[in-house]
Amino acid sequence: MTVAEAVRGARGSTVDSDGTGAAVRHEELRATVVDWFEGAARDLPWRAADRTPYGVLVSEVMLQQTPVVRVEPAWHAWMEQWPTPADLAAAPTAEVLRAWGRLGYPRRALRLQECARAVVERHGGVVPGTEEELRALPGIGEYTAAAVVAFAFGRRSVVVDTNVRRVLARTVGGVALPAPSYTAAERAQATAVAPESDADAARWAAASMELGALVCTARAPRCGACPVADLCAWRRAGYPPDAHADRRRTQAWTGTDRQARGRVMAHLRQADAPVDRAVLATSWPDAAQLDRAIAGLVEDGLAEQDEAGRLHLPLA
């Protein structure tokens, strides 16, 4: 008998203090999702037994708004080139940006190197194991700190990414999708659902994220394959539509300043010498937009200009 089956057998026999039975429902939800995860979990390198806290940290930064299929090869190459925080801290910034490649949002690469330098300076090159210490590092926010604590150290934290938010919104909240911005009510809900013990909380974090990534997806949820379909409040409510649909906007890409910045960065990563603006203009003819892209990259520390106005990756 699985843990989920044992809990299911006790459903309704125990209620929490307000009589709602929420504690039992939460326990059944957790147990069922974790049982499913045991057989459905993807074999990812940052989940391997020999993972390091630094490797987990790198994966979490890379995975922000970037799919696993693009991150996995980049992660392997990164860890081979810079296997420790000290290695990354000492690396030339231009090489770090080249290695980041097309993972998107290259400022994350700069923040990751800044983080590695801080780990070396403040913690002797060892990634710290508490959320407070992690959040004090450059570029590390609430989610990343909680994820490293759970997945690298196996300690209790409340790990909430977009996948977990969606799983909880549907199974517990009964709505199609959570609000566009993370709310205090969601944080409280996620904290209430998370198990108390270190090992159980870490496993629930990984399992709930995987459910959201593979089954409880945003646009085409596979409800027929969901292990907790019978527990889902959204399903019981008849799948009501997204209440926040009018507030959600798909970010444009074609013709945007972001695309222009990406084109410039692609040139700089491939170049062995500083690149003249005229060369950059061949791939982005809108002069005003190109100027904005160049100025933004320089301001963000992603590019530098020499005395002749040619652009190159940072030399430091």
Provide the domain limits for residue 294. 257-312
- Residue 255, pLDDT > 90, answer no
Per-residue pLDDT tens for 102-149? Answer: 898 999 999 999 999 999 999 999 999 999 999 999 999 999 999 999
Q: 193, 225, 247 — which closes off a domain?
A: 247
Please write the tens of the pLDDT for every residue from 36-95. Answer: 999 999 999 999 999 999 999 999 999 998 999 999 999 999 999 999 999 999 999 999
User: Both 21 and 79 in a single domain?
Assistant: no
* Token pair of 153 as six digits: 């150290």
* 247: pLDDT strictly greater than 90: no
Helix (H) or strand (E) holding 57, with range, is: helix 53-62
Domain end among 99, 129, 153: 153
Q: How far apart are CA 55 and CA 113, in angstroms?
A: 13
Q: How confident is the model at residue 22 (pLDDT cuts 50, 70, 90)?
A: confident
Q: Angle at Cα 157 formed by Cα 155 and Cα 161, nearest 5°?
A: 130
- CATH assignment of the domain containing 102: 1.10.340.30
Q: Which residues are catalytic, by number?
A: 60
Q: Whole-angstrom Cα distance, residue 191 to residue 156?
A: 10
pLDDT of residue 16: 45
- Same domain for 163 and 230, yes or no, is yes
Q: Are residues 54 and 149 in the same domain?
A: yes
Measure the CA angle with vertex 250, ends 248 and 251; round to 5°: 125
Q: What is the pLDDT of residues 256-314, one digit of tens each?
A: 888 899 999 999 999 989 999 889 889 888 889 988 999 999 999 999 999 988 999 99
* Number of separate domains in the chain: 3
Residue 316 has pLDDT above 80, yes or no: no
| CATH for 281 | 1.10.10
Query: Which of 12-16, 118-122, 128-132, 165-169 is the least confident region?
Result: 12-16
Per-residue pLDDT at 18: 43
What is each CA distance from 212 to 149, 195, 223, in whole angstroms?
20, 18, 11
The pLDDT value given to residue 19: 41
| The predicted structure's pLDDT at residue 185 | 95
Task: Among 247, 279, 301, give the residue marking a domain's end.
Answer: 247
pLDDT over 70 (residue 250): no
pLDDT at 156: 97
Annotate 245-285 with three-state secondary structure: HHHCCCCCCCCCHHHHHHHHHHHHHHCCCCECHHHHHCCCC
* pLDDT of 244 strictly over 70: yes
| Distance in Å from the first CA to the final CA of the chain | 59
173 with 305, same domain? no
Q: Contact, 183 vs 166, CB < 8 A?
A: no
252 assigned to some structural domain? no
pLDDT of residue 248: 65
